[in-house]
Amino acid sequence: MTDLPIEHRTDPVLTAQLIATALPYMLRYDEKTVVVKFGGNAMGSEELGKAFAEDITLLKLAGINPVVVHGGGPQINAMLTRLGIKSEWAAGMRITDKQTVEIVEMVLAGSINKEIVQTITEAGGRAIGLTGKDGNMVTVTRLKRTVVDPDSNIEKVIDLGFVGEPKTVRTEVLEVLAKSEIIPVLAPVCAGEDDGETYNVNADTFAGAIAGALGASRLLFLTDVPGVLDRNKQLIKELTVAEAKAMIADGTISGGMIPKVETCIEALDRGVEGVVILDGKTPHAVLLELFTEHGAGTLIKR
């Protein structure tokens, strides 16, 4: 203990009390699967990234099966800008051509994925970076969006290019890793079920599909906000699906939180026990959510 830096030294009695307090929650998730979607500001902060890696490593050591899914929108945008590739957008989504999807795969499956793997390794864990293409884990169909032309009021279908939505999830690789010491870190790059082409998938949607296929006890979305807020901007600790849908209908849940909550509901429909939206800017948010009485975000459940 005396070899630790001063800032890492704590009262041993306090440490024992903290462990005893967390123990019932550790037992609750023992041998359960927890899928964590890592993104937002936490990915851009070395300090928060390190705390996240420590959390994931501790989950594995505690007998829990963590699966990490990550995005990388800002990093993709930065690389496209650097290469002088302009993006077109429709229905709030990037139209992804062949050239763009190659950059997406390079950034997601390359630099970002391996950086997260290395950070977990430095925290004492053992991680492996994979994509939806590995082991034919996730195959997709081409995602299309229907929009209404504001001038003619006629619906039209927009082809988003190489953007996919999960069709089939095969869990064999993840089930093998769950029995080992290795933590999977997944990038949402997948193969098309019909054409074998490479597709980019929204990371939230990808995480929901993985969590559902694994029957995860929890799916955690680390975001840039504390969770779902009421009309007084206060955090709502817990919601049922019916309550969440009602809040979307009356406008309490609005803007960018709508697709996030809808993704949570879809994950619950796929078989996830509970989905949590929490603030990734909070250090050790994962541990606060899973191992404390009050959690750290908004839990949505059936």
What is the sign, positive or negative, of the torsion defined by CA atoms of 257, 261, 267, 269? negative
End-to-end, the C-alpha distance of the chain in Å comes to: 45
Burial per residue of 269-299, b for 16 or more beta-carbon CB atoms within 10 angstroms, e otherwise: ebebbbbbbbbbbbbebbbbbbbeeebbbbb
Residue 200 is assigned to a ligand binding site: yes
Residue 110 is assigned to a ligand binding site: no
Q: What is the DSSP letter of 96?
A: B
- Establish how many alpha carbons lie within 13 A of residue 284's alpha carbon, considering only the half-sphere containing its beta carbon: 8
The dihedrals phi and psi of 73, each to the nearest 5 degrees, come to -55, -50
Alpha carbons 35 and 177: distance in angstroms, whole number? 14
Annotated binding site for substrate: 72-73, 94, 200
Q: Which residues are annotated as a binding site?
A: 72-73, 94, 200
